[in-house]
Structure 1
Amino acid sequence: MDELNISVEEVCKTIHKSRDFVINAVQQGMMPGSVVVSKTGIRSVHIPRKAFEAYMNEWNTSPTDKVIQALFKKYTKE
């Protein structure tokens, strides 16, 4: 196990998505990491663990928490 990188399988389990979803998200720049496509079409994926953890921490707290707080403030004012 590589401490600096996180496997695609571990990411799949964390976000409850398929392997293709994770690889496509990295390839499209929606998730941190890089994808190298070989001449035969095989995709090799590199996802830095710290970048993934930072992505998840930011993704889990916004915008949902902000939206809930704004709605709460709006509907609790008299």
Structure 2
Amino acid sequence: MNENISVDEVMRITHKSREFIINAIENGSFPGSFTKTKNGTRCVHIPRKAFEEYMNHFYRTTSDELIIALVNELTKKA
């Protein structure tokens, strides 16, 4: 298995844009590292293990249980 995960794969998993992911890596809020070339192009490296840990422990999405609870609560009041 490749030790790094591609930006395209991260985009597909997180539903975020390439620019969002690269900016998050650059400002330190997302796992990975980057280098800038002389012409300003940013090259990023995202370790697969760090990405998986981030997604499993820190990244929060709306859960099915929360959606069901909200629908039940809203239909109760209607």
TM-score (norm 2): 0.73
**More strand by percentage:** 2
Please name the residue that 1:27 is paired with. 26
Letter in 1 for 2:28: G
Structure 2 residue runs without a partner (length 5+): 67-78
Corresponding residue of 2:14: 15
Q: Which residue of 1 aligns with 2:3?
A: 4
| Unaligned stretches of 5+ residues in structure 1 | 69-78
In the other structure, the counterpart of 1:76 is none
- What pairs up with 1:1-78 in 2 under 5 angstroms? 3-60=2-59
TM-score by length of 1: 0.73
Q: CA deviation at 1:60?
A: 4.1
Identity, % of aligned positions: 54
Which stretches of structure 1, 4 residues or longer, exceed 6 Å deviation after superposition? none
| Residue number in structure 2 paired with 1:74 | none
Q: Separation in 1 of the partners of 2:53 and 2:23?
A: 19
CA offset digits 1:10-55 (Å, max 9, x no partner):
0001000000000000111011100100110010000000000000
